[in-house]
Amino acid sequence: MYLRGVMNQQGQPGSAIEETLRVVGDRWSILLVRAGLRGIRRFDDFCDDLGIARPVLTERLRRLVKFGIFERVRYQDKPVRYEYRLTEAGLALSPALVALVRWSEEYSQEVSSETTLVHAPCGTELEQAFWCRSCQTTFGPHAVKGVGVNDES
């Protein structure tokens, strides 16, 4: 097989997505982002909502803050209290989340097969597509070059 410029062994850069998954690719981080999108901001609320262990939550939030996905905001002074809010970068993870939710709905028979993701203004179930500004068209994953979907085969 041919490796195209991706060195991932020791301390090498690795591709962008590998770094990203090193930050966000654990069992909790994406769930934390989702909780953030649902409006959860406080330590104890994350804890209760996800059932994550406190020390792990502490460490995870610290890391997500460090990588600019959440920010730690003082929201009260008397007893000093902080909460965690998604940054713009954190919000920008929502397409990935939506894709995961859609996949979950389609391939996990389990439980409600009710559609949970809709276009807010009209209530229609949403589709996810790629958009080409030049061509003014939408297209599916097979016309994407770069993840390797269409490399060789």
Partner DNA sequence: CTACTGAGTTCGGATTTCGAACTCAGTCTC
Partner DNA sequence: GAGACTGAGTTCGAAATCCGAACTCAGTAG
Nearer CB in complex with a copy of itself: 72/125 = 125
53 binds DNA (CB under 7 A): yes
106 binds a copy of itself (CB under 8 A): yes
Pick from 11, 55, 121, 123 the residue near DNA by CB under 7 A: 55
In 3D space, the residue among 18, 27, 147 whose CA is nearest the CA of residue 9 turns out to be 18
Give which of a copy of itself, DNA, none residue 71 binds (C-beta under 5 to 8 Å, depending on kind).
none
Pick from 13, 15, 22, 58 the residue near DNA by CB under 7 A: 58
Shortest approach of DNA to residue 8 CB, angstroms? 10
Pick from 10, 60, 75, 79 the residue near a copy of itself by CB under 8 A: 10
* Terminal-residue alpha carbon distance, the chain: 12
CB-based contacts of 63-68 (< 8 A; 24+ apart in sequence):
63/23, 63/29, 64/23, 64/24, 64/29, 64/32, 64/33, 64/90, 67/23
5 binds a copy of itself (CB under 8 A): yes
CA atoms in the 13 A half-sphere facing the CB of 120: 0
Shortest approach of DNA to residue 50 CB, angstroms? 9
